[in-house]
Amino acid sequence: MIPKISVIVPVYKVEQYLSKCIESILAQTFTDFELLLIDDGSPDNSGAICDKFAKKDSRIRVFHKKNEGVSSARNLGLDEANGIWITFVDSDDWIEERYLGDLFAGIKNEGLGLVFQGHAKVNNIGVVLRELNFSSYYITQEYFNLLFTTYNIYTYGAPWSKLYNLKLIHDKSLIFDTRINRGEDLLFMFQYLRFCDWVNVVDGFNYMYNIEVSGSLTKKLNSYESERYTFIQLCNIVKELSSIYHIENGNLNGWFLFVRTLIFFAINSIYNSKYDKRTRIKLLEEIMDREAISYMKLLSADDTYISFKIMRLLLVYKFFNLYDIYRSTFIICRRYIKCKTVS
């Protein structure tokens, strides 16, 4: 029997939270699913916990692999899944009992598409800190421009709380890009949207996103090369989608704000590494090409803090030496204040 849904859970160093995650999946009111637990070379007891649950429930399959990151783990899940639809759950989170049922109810009979729902941000003991509950809407391909201009879909790129069609993924050879450590899920969703017939957003939220966990698959410091590659890939796919769905730049202000954040992620990674000044200047020149500068100029009126405005202007007008002095001084002052506070 082919299950209607495959649930893919990448697992790494989450022995404290894993049982709660698995139990919440097994407690679903919708029961026609398989659960794939992908142990990504976890050095703790997470792999053993996966095996223990697999012995108790025939719907569970466990895969042990060497540690290669969350994208590699999810890709293995996509390769091994047998379901018609797939969804993801992070192993340090948990879901309410209607998670699968509500998502499955959002599937439309015509064509292939994407279903997604809101989520709640919670702490370790389950206290809800913030709820994200979308108003229901259904959009066919001819109106996909609204996903960017009205619904800001790029701010909800996480793979969970979504239902993807596995045949579409396999037919189009879609995978999570293992060269990206931040934004790989958003890039995957954008690539999937190129081939969708519809997007259906269902009311409510059943996913509990634990914001307090550290050391899991999704938490790591990224290199400059990874951040710059992410920026390039995401910009390229949005250009492609803008062309396909006839989205004018004037209607993408929210996306440009997001892109500016990507640029600063790349710049931050320069100053989180032990580069000398000459190398830092060279990398600033590389990231601040004509396209990046145009994004910065488009958003000149959106500076919240004076320090941010100063940094943006120094970058836009290519005063990279001054920027480096400003940024380096800022870092030194911050470290000094931190040390004084601790002492």
The predicted-structure confidence for 9-44, as pLDDT tens digits, reads as follows 999 999 999 999 999 999 999 999 999 999 999 999
Rounded CA separation 186/249 (Å): 20
- Split at pLDDT 50, 70, 90, the class of 211 is confident
For residue 337, pLDDT beyond 70: no
Residue 156: the pLDDT is 87
Rounded CA separation 139/45 (Å): 44
- Split at pLDDT 50, 70, 90, the class of 328 is confident
3-state secondary structure of 234: helix
pLDDT tens digits for range 59-92: 999 999 999 999 999 999 999 999 999 999 999 9
- Split at pLDDT 50, 70, 90, the class of 292 is confident
- Token pair 């948990």: residue: 94
3-state secondary structure of 151: coil
Rounded CA separation 3/7 (Å): 10
Residue 216: the pLDDT is 56
Nearest to 221 by CA among 264, 172, 272: 272
Lowest mean pLDDT among 2-11, 101-110, 147-156: 147-156
Between 39 and 220, the more confident residue is 39
For residue 341, pLDDT beyond 80: no
Average pLDDT over residues 205-221: 73
Between 115 and 308, the more confident residue is 115
Rounded CA separation 39/92 (Å): 13
Beta bridge partners of 118: 205
- Split at pLDDT 50, 70, 90, the class of 255 is confident
Rounded CA separation 62/52 (Å): 10
Do 192 and 114 form a contact (C-beta atoms < 8 A)? yes
Nearest to 199 by CA among 254, 134, 263: 134
For residue 339, pLDDT beyond 70: no
Rounded CA separation 230/153 (Å): 17
Beta bridge partners of 122: 128, 210
